[in-house]
Chains A and B, each alone.
Chain A
């Protein structure tokens, strides 16, 4: 049976996960305006933007032959936990014959979880399941480490686009991995390739760093956020996101006593502004603003999909945070009509602003621009 999944970068991780369990995988095409239009057409108007993109993406995957779709569930209060249910109703009504397997939390529906997990693991033994998860987890970590380095390098590359060319090559190499040793070897090779990319030397003091925070889908999936990291890189800005797949796995799948407490600590920081978890990554994002400030970042770009409930609460709180931390934050709402040109201007203006602010600080209050 041909199986597909929602398109959220890095897709290669989900692809390997399913392939290693012996499934035939249909990788959905990278979302384009056509995908958005398809999704918008069949979604409720006030649904959040990711629901619409993912619906469009499913339709494209089904038309490429997918018969089953694997996705994650959830227990709210964010609407994303109900995506699968709504998607399957809409698709059924449109006449598509597809099974959507929604993986929910283990409790309270334990048997249901096991039944669905078996579908994914395709009859593999518990040892194989453990091995596959280990490989995939290591793969996601390696990919995130390399991407973090590229996010820094892009700002200083001599020939525009060099880093991304190398990045594509690296991802192609990862496409075939089966063991942890292979992941490690490719990661090492990747660093070698990146070392050969010519970069301009910039003094540590004058480097500009921007943190990209927001709802997980629009932060991770570059095709819906106007490739924000590339855009910033071209303007000579280093970036780091609040969301990485390996962090998500660490925080959501690995038991509390075993995992790295990084995300837990950031959430605790966020509780200064939002006292309880309100769904999505709202509290975590607020915590990340503080985290980035403490690490000396110069600004924050806050991506918010249209209609996102938790991020709307965040948006109400951001003005206070800007004031408190003296840190510029640019909130960009994202929907199917988000034009690149319009936002390009806003982003450039924002980068100019933080550059000016930094210069002012470095020159003890005297600006070079008079």
Chain B
């Protein structure tokens, strides 16, 4: 039995759980290809025009899996992973949209309702639909989830050490140390963005590698602990409603308030609703803190050359600022 998992949206955060869970259950797991221009073009044709780019990309991946001949596609409905918080409406309605786009495939979409109180979404109740659809006894599911839970913790620990998710996915972590430039005038950048924007190399154009090739240290939200993320969010009357958006906003507040960070970059995909709020809040606060804040908005047409220029210009600006502060060179 082949189970397809789209390489899109929160795949980049939850693949350790889902891949190992299905493998433990004895299924063959098929991951869709990496995002490419051709794939996106196919996805756009299927999707309503105004919706955000990540959803268009998601549909391309589902299509890719169906073409690969999988028996089922796994499209979980992420409802909540924290008390009083939820997900963006597009995640909540994701299986409903997919079932309408891929009508002939409707009954082969597995869409369990994921509702958990922590990030580690391996509670049995979230996978009832998987058990029902694939006829799996709960004992077997429990032990599969136990393995999945362990894999997820390992994955998160590597992230917290400072490895990027791309490095973890490619298995480039064993026996190595995460990238860190320790020269005194090194620029440190906080990179904000959802995992499906930062780690989908088509969207982000591998921005982390570009910064590293300039000797810049980059920190993303997944490298921060829960405690660090919520450290500077106390002044908000009300948190955002969407858990991953809160993580991004919290990371942003952390980068703003901790002195070791010289600048902040926000990668956002065209049409993202929650990001429009985060962007505005960061814009207002970064002004007060006098910390450079750059928004890079990406859509399906974005070319690479303009990104390189912006990355280099931003880095140069931060370097000059830092040099004059350190007093080594006066500009």
> Hey, which chain B residues are within 8 Å of A43, CB to CB?
280
- How distant is B36 from chain A, measured CB to nearest CB, in Å? 23
From A47, A86, A278, name the one whose CB has the most chain B CB atoms within 10 angstroms.
A278
Q: Are A315 and B92 in contact (CB under 8 A)?
A: no
- How distant is A302 from chain B, measured CB to nearest CB, in Å? 12
A353 within 8 A of B: no
Q: Are A313 and B97 in contact (CB under 8 A)?
A: yes
Known A-B contacts A48-B273, A282-B89, A316-B47; the reply to A89 vs B101 at CB < 8 A is no
Name B59's closest neighbour in chain A (CB-CB). Answer: A316
> Hey, which chain B residues are within 8 Å of A85, CB to CB?
236-238
Name A92's closest neighbour in chain B (CB-CB). Answer: B284
A319 within 8 A of B: yes
Complex Cα distance A306/B85, Å? 24
B198-242 to A contact mask, C-beta < 8 Å, 1/0: 000000000000000000000000000000000000001110111
Q: Are B281 and A89 in contact (CB under 8 A)?
A: yes
Complex Cα distance A45/B279, Å? 10
> Hey, which chain A residues are within 8 Å of B97, CB to CB?
313, 316-317
Q: Are A108 and B84 in contact (CB under 8 A)?
A: yes
Name B80's closest neighbour in chain A (CB-CB). Answer: A77
Give the residue of A81, A275, A306, A319 whose beta carbon is less than 8 angstroms from that of B96. A275
- How distant is A141 from chain B, measured CB to nearest CB, in Å? 30
List which B111-159 residues lie within 8 A (CB) of chain A: 113
Q: Are A76 and B241 in contact (CB under 8 A)?
A: yes
Q: Are A307 and B86 in contact (CB under 8 A)?
A: no
> Hey, which chain A residues are within 8 Å of B89, CB to CB?
77-78, 278-280, 282, 309-310, 312-313
List which A54-92 residues lie within 8 A (CB) of chain B: 73, 75-79, 81-82, 85-86, 89-90
Q: Are B277 and A282 in contact (CB under 8 A)?
A: no
Give the residue of B85, B238, B275 whose beta carbon is less than 8 angstroms from that of A82. B238
> Hey, which chain A residues are within 8 Å of B238, CB to CB?
73, 82, 85, 104
Name B98's closest neighbour in chain A (CB-CB). Answer: A316
A252 within 8 A of B: no
**Number of chain B interface residues as a range:** 35 or more
Q: Are B92 and A47 in contact (CB under 8 A)?
A: no
Q: Are A47 and B276 in contact (CB under 8 A)?
A: yes
Known A-B contacts A46-B271, A108-B84, A309-B89; the reply to A75 vs B241 at CB < 8 A is yes
Complex Cα distance A77/B90, Å? 10
Complex Cα distance A143/B275, Å? 39
Known A-B contacts A75-B241, A89-B281; the reply to A316 vs B100 at CB < 8 A is yes
Name A107's closest neighbour in chain B (CB-CB). Answer: B84
Complex Cα distance A112/B308, Å? 48
> Hey, which chain B residues are within 8 Å of A282, CB to CB?
89, 93
- How distant is B78 from chain A, measured CB to nearest CB, in Å? 11
Q: Are B100 and A77 in contact (CB under 8 A)?
A: no
Give the residue of A46, A86, A279 whose beta carbon is less than 8 angstroms from that of B92. A279
> Hey, which chain B residues are within 8 Å of A306, CB to CB?
50
A29 within 8 A of B: no
> Hey, which chain A residues are within 8 Å of B85, CB to CB?
76
Q: Are A276 and B241 in contact (CB under 8 A)?
A: no
> Hey, which chain B residues are within 8 Å of A81, CB to CB?
241
A174 within 8 A of B: no
Q: Are A320 and B100 in contact (CB under 8 A)?
A: yes
- How distant is B276 from chain A, measured CB to nearest CB, in Å? 4
> Hey, which chain A residues are within 8 Å of B101, CB to CB?
316
Q: Are A309 and B273 in contact (CB under 8 A)?
A: yes
B66 within 8 A of A: no
> Hey, which chain B residues are within 8 Å of A79, CB to CB?
273-274, 277
List which B13-54 residues lie within 8 A (CB) of chain A: 47-48, 50-51
> Hey, which chain A residues are within 8 Å of B79, CB to CB?
276
> Hey, which chain B residues are within 8 Å of A310, CB to CB?
89, 93
Residues of B within 8 A of A (CB): 47-48, 50-51, 77, 79, 84-90, 92-93, 95-97, 100-101, 103, 113, 236-238, 240-242, 271-277, 279-281, 284
Q: When A and B form their complex, which 9 residue pairs have the shortest distance between CB atoms, in order from nearest? A: A76-B241, A313-B93, A46-B276, A278-B92, A44-B276, A309-B89, A44-B280, A316-B97, A278-B89
Q: Other than the known A43-B280, A312-B50, A317-B97, what 4 A-B pairs have Cβ atoms closer than 8 Å?
A: A78-B89, A82-B240, A274-B96, A282-B93
Instruction: Jot down 22 A-B pairs with beta carbons below 8 A, ordered by A.
Output: A46-B273, A47-B273, A47-B277, A76-B242, A82-B238, A86-B280, A89-B284, A273-B96, A274-B93, A275-B95, A280-B89, A282-B89, A282-B93, A310-B89, A312-B90, A313-B92, A316-B47, A316-B100, A316-B101, A317-B96, A317-B100, A320-B103
